[in-house]
A = this chain, B = another copy of it.
């Protein structure tokens, strides 16, 4: 595999695009060839005009790219050539737009890592139900591998196309996955409460993300059939009725905290939970298990301990009085919940050490 990988980002102005840039500008094996935008005012501008924190870290300029706009034929063709010459392209555009781009660039042969929801669900009906539209190219679904290395490492190594999971789904999946390995649990049902930060809403302006109205809320924003649930059910192999979740927007910018409650038919002990979590994650570079019985800082997952890193902390406890077991997880929705999975998958696809660059992202505790 070539030591230097030529890569590009489609949709580099959103929060996912920004987070990709923050990781890739200092990735030893990556040469960033292009970063696109649909905004005419940014075409040709330095990246750091739009992302001031990147001043001094890249001299790259934005390329205009919008397949939906015929009048931009020359600009589009220029980017298509850049894509063709690159080894991998990251897509950081909304669902729907992503599928249309994939349909167009497939013939170029470049590896694709998509951060949208378009190719996560194997079942086009699930896609229709949650995204309320027909999937533009269902025949391509089977070519994409679900970009969660902890569950699909070997497939990702061999993959040409990877679809990265949603941030909430990553948290729910990684918390619940070990339970699917416990024989004694049988057909358990899990109910999640997921608490999320404002950066999940993305860069687009909206009243619900307006600072004066977003601060100090605990807002239930998705009551039941959240689109990320379809991924959790697919990845945990559980029928819809056994996995439910409610999401809350809470007071933070970056971070997801997730708790899953299970009421098993017969009691499951801490020992068994430790066994299941160790066998699932013991060797994982980016999963840390926090399940200390003694309360205190760090005894259980909290985004405060992972923010700015690719870690997903997982944990559990047993509530004997109610015969309840709880699984928990915490991650940074822009890193392990988004571009962390993308870059981790890319490292695997190109035979690099999986933690390249990602290991250098040390979680910073005093980082609001």
Chain A residues near B (Cβ < 8 Å): 189, 191, 193, 195, 207-208, 212-213, 215-221, 223-225, 240-244, 246, 248, 250-255, 257, 259, 261, 263, 295, 297, 300-304, 307, 317, 319-324, 326, 328, 330, 365-368
Contact = CB atoms under 8 A, between A and B. Distances in A.
B326 A246 contact: yes
B220 A302 contact: yes
Contact of A251 (B208, B252, B319, B326): B252
A191 B297 contact: no
Contact of A224 (B241, B259, B322, B328): B322
A321 B245 CA distance: 11
Given A250-B195, A251-B252, A321 B220 contact: no
A320 to B, nearest CB: 8
Contacts of A307: 216
Nearest to A243: B322
Given A189-B322, A216-B253, A223-B326, 16 more contacts: A189-B263, A191-B263, A191-B322, A195-B195, A213-B366, A216-B254, A216-B303, A216-B304, A217-B303, A218-B255, A220-B259, A220-B300, A224-B317, A224-B321, A240-B321, A246-B326
